[in-house]
Amino acid sequence: MGMKKEGLKLFENGKRIDGRAYDELRPIKMEVGVLKRADGSCYLEWGGNKVLAAVYGPRECLPRHTQDPLKARINYRYNMAPFSTDERVRPGPSRRSIEISKLSKEALEHVIFTEYFPKTSIDIFVEILQADAGTRCAGLTAASLALADAGIPMKSLITACAAGKIDGKVVLDLGKLEDNFGEADLPIAYMPRTKELVYLQMDGDLTKDEFKEALRLALKGCDEIYRIQRDALKKAYEGEVNGR
């Protein structure tokens, strides 16, 4: 965010650098149940992002002193593969990934019925295999589907998407160049059922009106992604429901 590159036009003649309109998402693909050992899993492609999410649990929470007698403990690990970006990512948690993991965990903790599974842990692992801007949203969207695939009871699915500002124009779903050289980024996640936000971050430089517009666009993006999420679940479970 905020870097400068002379002569780089991110928004020209109503089109963005990758040819998208201001309110257009990158292509998104999702599939659940892709990992054999995990209780629930999801593979997601979003533009150039490739993300794998796995859920283990509810299972005994170890070490024992971390158990909560009243509810399940949610663990969320957002991890970037070392080869996922141009410059190699040093393995292990970074300050950035610790923050993303914390906020994503809190977003999911809001929708999971944790009180149904006291003393257990529900462990969510998100691996970013290939990164192309918007990985926290891609990870959270995939994690939510993996939880559904694992049969964890939830109040709602969570759908995440970002909006931002490039060359003074508010746009949906920033790509890599737009993320590096844009002016603002607003990643959100919400519960499509109640239309309430459970993940919210923003950095950059937005007026109040631009903020409202970005929020509106991000929610519109979320609605589209929610449809793709439901289709992915239907595709995996339709057969089961129909007795096949």
Partner 1 sequence: MVDENEIVWLVKKDAVADMIKNGKRSDGRKAYEYRPIEIITDYVKRAEGSAYIKLGNTQILVGVKMDVGQPYSDSPNMGTLITNAELVPLASPVFQPGPPNENAIELARVVDRGIRESKMIDFEKLCITEGEEVWNVLIDIHVLDFDGNLIDAATLAAVKALWTAKMPRYEDGKVIYEDKKDSLPVSKKPVACTFARFGNVSILDPSLEEEKSMDGKITITTTDDGKICAVQKSGITKISVPELENLIDVALEKGNEIRKTYLG
Between the alpha carbon of residue 83 and those of residues 4, 44, 54, 88, 239, the distances in Å are: 25, 18, 20, 6, 37
Using the rule CB under 8 A, is 103 a contact of partner 1?
yes
Question: Which is nearer to partner 1, 40 or 187 (by Cβ)?
Answer: 187
Q: Are 140 and 158 in contact (CB under 8 A)?
A: yes
- Taking CA atoms, 93 is separated from 35, 139, 199, in Å, by 23, 16, 21
Per the structure block, which two tokens stand in for 56?
A: 């283990």
Three-state secondary structure call for residue 70: coil
Kindly identify the residues of this chain, within the stretch 189-208, that bind partner 1 according to CB under 8 A. 191, 194-208
Minimum Å distance from CB 118 to partner 1? 16
Q: Which stretch binds partner 1 (CB under 8 A): 28-36, 103-111, 142-150, 235-243?
A: 103-111
Asked whether position 69 contacts partner 1 by CB under 8 A, the answer is no
Reference 203, options 239, 174, 232; nearest CA is 174
Helices 135-149, 208-241: axis angle to 10 degrees equals: 30
Between 41 and 84, name the residue whose CB sits nearer to partner 1.
Answer: 84
- Tell me which of 28, 219, 225, 236 binds partner 1, using CB under 8 A: 219
Interface pattern 222-241 for partner 1 (x via CB under 8 A): --------------------
Residue of the chain from 211, 213, 224, 230 that contacts partner 1 (CB under 8 A):
211
Residues 115-174 touching partner 1, rule: CB under 8 A, are none
Residue 162 tokens read as 């970002």
Number of residues that bind partner 1 (CB under 8 A): 34
**Would you say 200 or 228 has its CB closer to partner 1?**
200
Beta strands at 120-130 and 73-80: parallel, antiparallel or unpaired: parallel
Q: List phi, psi (to 5°) of 230.
A: -65, -40
- Of 15, 82, 106, 116, the residue at the interface with partner 1 (CB under 8 A) is 106
8 binds partner 1 (CB under 8 A): no
* In the complex, least distance from residue 23 CB atom to partner 1, rounded to whole angstroms: 17
Q: In what order do the strands lie in the sheet with 184-191?
A: 169-172, 159-166, 184-191
Instruction: Return residues touching partner 1 (CB under 8 A).
Output: 1-3, 95-96, 98-99, 101-103, 106, 109-110, 186, 191, 194-208, 211-212, 215, 219
